[in-house]
Amino acid sequence: MKILATLLAGAALAHGLSAQTNLLTNGDFDQLGGGLAGWGAFGNAYGEPSAPPAIDPRSGTHLAKMFGNFSGGFNVSGIFQSFPAAAGETYTLDCWSRHYSGDPMVGTGAPNSNWVVQKIAFFDAGGNEIGAGEGTICDATSPTDVWIDNAPVSATAPTGTASVQALILYLQPNFDGGAVLIDDVEFFGPPPAGPTYPGTGDDVELATAVGGGAPSTGQGNDVKAANGGQLLEVNISSPNGGYDLAPYWLLAQVFSTATPPVASTPGVYFDFNQPVLILAGFGPSPVGGPVIAPGNGSSNYYLAPAGLAGSSIMLQGLVFSTGASNGIFAMTDGHEIQLN
């Protein structure tokens, strides 16, 4: 078991953790044909193809350009994207900006001369803005002809939030000239709802059922209660067929329900200083160990143990494969069976 622990730890740590996903469509202005596809825009806001030195994208071949409307009095140009949101969720907006010396902004910035902000705005179900966070990313005092790596802006949705917008806004109090260039915008929100004990993200899936029900998996179905003596079904499958007929191990460990496990290494929810039970996959056999059946996968059946109220059993399926994302093994999500 120490050899197994070493293999799992080394491979999982080498694989590392996944990055956040940018919520924006066409955040670099190079997708969907380039320009402002996927964005809402108003005033003097445009998607522009590369044309140095005036239009010099930070990456790719397109960027966004904005300037004032010259309408007299305070006016705004901008681009934005909207998303559903809920109270308590935190969002972060980040972008790069450029101030071209051939079309410079003048003055001292807000509130008397032009300035540019990145803004996160929250709206209620009636479309009323009820909260926001913003930061200035460019004005006449900004350096010219270099891409500016702006500090990210974060904001948390207040009570009553129904939607959120990521905005880049060019504000013109009077008739001052000048433009701003924007590229590589990123907008991050709360991670999508996922499993309680996520595995390695490979094409192997664990589903469980208590008392003869249909096996289920995923958030809300990966922590179940069982009384002593109830039938417990544990199914391992390969939804996309990548691990059909692959030998697998089914591992289990008992722990206190009051202290749920944390990943000993990414995707592995066992304390290898404590006993780990091998429920399937080992033992002498003239035909080898169990394999993942195509289609609905393979199931193992057990009786939930009695006399362990207050304890839980962690279950995970393991397949050794050089085709796994970490090059050594694929691990299913973990399922916790709470014993009554």
Q: Does pLDDT of 15 surpass 80?
A: no
The rounded distance, in Å, linking the Cα atoms of 107 and 174 is 11
Under a CB-based contact definition with an 8 Å cutoff, are residues 96 and 58 in contact?
yes
Summarised one tens digit per residue, pLDDT across range 262-307 is 888 889 999 988 999 999 987 667 878 899 999 999 999 999 999 9
Whether 2-18+194-339 and 40-188 share one fold: the answer is: no
Q: Is the dihedral of CA 171, 175, 178, 181 positive or negative?
A: positive
Q: Which DSSP string do the residues of 298-318 spell out, in sequence order?
A: EEEEEEPPSS-TTEEEEEEEE
Structure tokens at 115: 């300035």
CA neighbor of 314 nearest in space, from 233, 251, 228: 251
Task: Take residue 249 and report the two structure tokens written for it.
Answer: 């191990």
Instruction: Convert the pLDDT of each residue in 135-160 to its tens digit.
Output: 999 999 999 999 999 999 999 999 99
Task: Report the residue count for the chain.
Answer: 340
Which DSSP helix (H) or strand (E) runs through 4?
helix 2-15
Report the topology of domain 2-18+194-339. Immunoglobulin-like (2.60.40)
Does residue 312 surpass a pLDDT of 60? Answer: yes
Q: Which CATH class is domain 40-188?
A: mainly beta
Query: What span, in angstroms and rounded, lies between the C-alpha atoms of 216 and 211?
Result: 13
The domain limits of the chain are 2-18+194-339, 40-188
The phi and psi torsions of 110 (rounded to 5 degrees) equal: -60, 140
pLDDT on residue 191: 77
DSSP helix/strand/coil, 7: helix
What amino acid is encoded at 227 in this protein? N
The pLDDT assigned to 288 comes to: 80
CA angle centred on 192, ends 222 and 186, rounded to 5°: 160
